[in-house]
Amino acid sequence: MESVKKEHNTERTEVVPSLDDNMRPELPGFYFDEEKKKYFAIKGPIPGSKPSSRAEQKPESKPFKEPNYQKRNKLKALKLLCSRELSGSLIPLNKKKKKSNFKEEIEKTQASNPVVWRYGSTENIGDAALKEFKVEIQTSQGLTTKNILVAGSNGGCLSILRVSKPGQVVVPFDESESQALEVGTECEPVSVLPRNAEEEREAAAPSRLIWRPAHSHLHALSSISSIQLIGRSDNSHHVKRALITTLGSAGRGSTFILSLAEEPYIVTPRSLQGNVSSECTIWTADCSVSGSLAAIGTNLGAALVDLETGAGSYFLRSESDVLALQFHQSKGNIVQCGLRNGAIVSVDIRERPSRLTRHQIRSHSSSSQATRKKEWFKLRGNINPSHVLYMPSSLTCMKTLKTYDQYLMASSMDGTIKLYDQRMVKRGVAVQTYEGHVNSHTRIEFGIDPSERFLMSGGEDCFTRIWSIKSGQLLSENKFSNSVPSVVCWSAVEGQSEWNDSIVHEAWLGSREAIFNIF
């Protein structure tokens, strides 16, 4: 007993002063040390008491496993709905009593668990450019509103696909002959995500059907490099024309005007005139809001083209190819150009072509002394060199947010995707970075949903990823294609979710394997 008591001396804490032997009572949970003449607390089970079942059955330790954010967000859906019913539109988000909007959280949950359909007979037609348009077509019954998907391939094929909801008539049908009046192929949808059988039953029917006419409307000699609508499209004005550009074979890029006013659709070549060389490679294009002008990015710089006459002139001459460009939404006289060397410049197109100002700027954001000496290049145009942004490598895609056009999102071929505030360009620091994108040399076009809450992009690893634009959080990453999903465009029609105040935005993805619908 003496040795046992001494072991406890270093571990037990004094709780009751010493007492005489005659006055010493027995206290449950304490023992009396004869040498110290003090009570000490007994740690562990009281001697003689029944051991607890928890102590007898000690669970085996399991290795920690990071929870999957997609599964976690899906489990949150019912809790969010319950919170909305109890708390209204603002719901508690965490234990720190931070609140969030119910609609935003439920949309984030949906983005974390997308439903994806692959359409048959769409291989090798939408891997270069993809746009959905709502058009008004003159028919024998009058004006009819239709949705079409214009797809361009790296092989130079331009296809116009009809899009409809289940139950809608897409192809004219002769009841007397019991056959379709038009030759074509119904692209059969196949569910590829989710892969869980129970979840697949919930999404048993696709939200969109596709009909592919037998003949494509254009077979160019080179890759389709861009498809852009001409003029503004809103609820009162439907798309009537689209601008099609081709990359160019042996440096001979081409422009076409696609008329969408009536069927069959007509594609008209638009020859470039003025000082715009017909020997250039056309990488990209964009149209002004008015629909009268187009800006094209070439290997010689950026040029402005009158869509009615074809007359054009360069407003930017550069030693580096213009791989991405866009008209500034609120400033119609400004065109933003993304170059092969990583620079993003804003050019005022009002300067005379014969008097373009000469500049010498850096091509990369590197600040090391070893690279400063050789990373300078010359260009001519009306730009402010202090307002130039720099990406780490060649630009692949560039878009401004419609609700806040001072925010510019850009991606480069090294896998970098960043969001910049153009009011802070002198600092050269992005306000948000989106991690996880995989790229090394492919021209990949990302997409921003109409609510401007989510960013979607394919990667060279064949994964499709969705991020929250505001937080930069990676919400989902799924591989359902065996080739790179290189093009993303959002649907022209918004779908209604099972929650009346939440809108589901659908997107189209184009890859060499097939065209996909994701929502």
Q: What is the pLDDT of residues 43-93, one digit of tens each?
A: 555 444 444 444 444 444 444 344 455 555 655 665 666 555 555 555 555
Could you tell me the end-to-end alpha-carbon distance of the chain, in angstroms, rounded to an integer?
Answer: 74
pLDDT level of residue 498 (50, 70, 90 thresholds): very low
The predicted structure's pLDDT at residue 329: 79
- Encoding tokens for residue 444? 């990949």
Residues facing 418 on adjacent strands: 410, 433
Mean pLDDT check: name the lowest of 69-78, 432-441, 474-483.
Answer: 69-78
What is the distance between the alpha carbons of residues 462 and 439, in angstroms, rounded to a whole number?
10
Say if residue 360's pLDDT is above 70: yes
Q: What is the pLDDT of residues 14-24, one digit of tens each?
A: 444 444 555 66
What is the pTM (predicted TM-score) of this model? 0.77
The predicted structure's pLDDT at residue 56: 42
242 alpha-carbon distance from chain centroid: 23
The predicted structure's pLDDT at residue 8: 44
The predicted structure's pLDDT at residue 214: 83
pLDDT level of residue 135 (50, 70, 90 thresholds): confident
121-445 fold: Methylamine Dehydrogenase; Chain H (2.130.10)
pLDDT, averaged across the chain: 79
* Interacting residues of 82 by C-beta distance below 8 A, sequence separation 6+: none
The size of the chain, in residues, is 519
Q: What percent of the chain has pLDDT over 90?
A: 44
Contact predicate 122/187, CB 8 Å: yes
Nearest Cα residue to 257 out of 272, 241, 246: 241
Contact predicate 416/392, CB 8 Å: yes
pLDDT level of residue 399 (50, 70, 90 thresholds): very high
- Encoding tokens for residue 21? 């032997």
The label of the residue with tokens 């409809």 reads: 164
Say if residue 502's pLDDT is above 50: no
Q: Which residue has the higher pLDDT, 391 or 59?
A: 391
Say if residue 207's pLDDT is above 80: yes
Mean pLDDT of 91-109: 65
Say if residue 226's pLDDT is above 80: yes
Q: At 168, phi and psi to the nearest 5?
A: -85, 150
Say if residue 177's pLDDT is above 90: no
Region for 278 from its dihedrals, namely left if φ exceeds 0, alpha if ψ lies in -120 to 50, beta otherwise: alpha
pLDDT level of residue 194 (50, 70, 90 thresholds): confident
The predicted structure's pLDDT at residue 71: 57
Spans of all domains in the chain = 2-47, 69-112, 121-445
Contact predicate 249/222, CB 8 Å: yes
What is the distance between the alpha carbons of residues 173 and 34, in angstroms, rounded to a whole number?
104
Mean pLDDT of 310-338: 92
Diameter of the chain measured on Cα atoms: 118
Q: Which residue has the higher pLDDT, 286 or 144?
A: 286
Residue type at position 246:
T
The predicted structure's pLDDT at residue 204: 66
pLDDT level of residue 272 (50, 70, 90 thresholds): confident
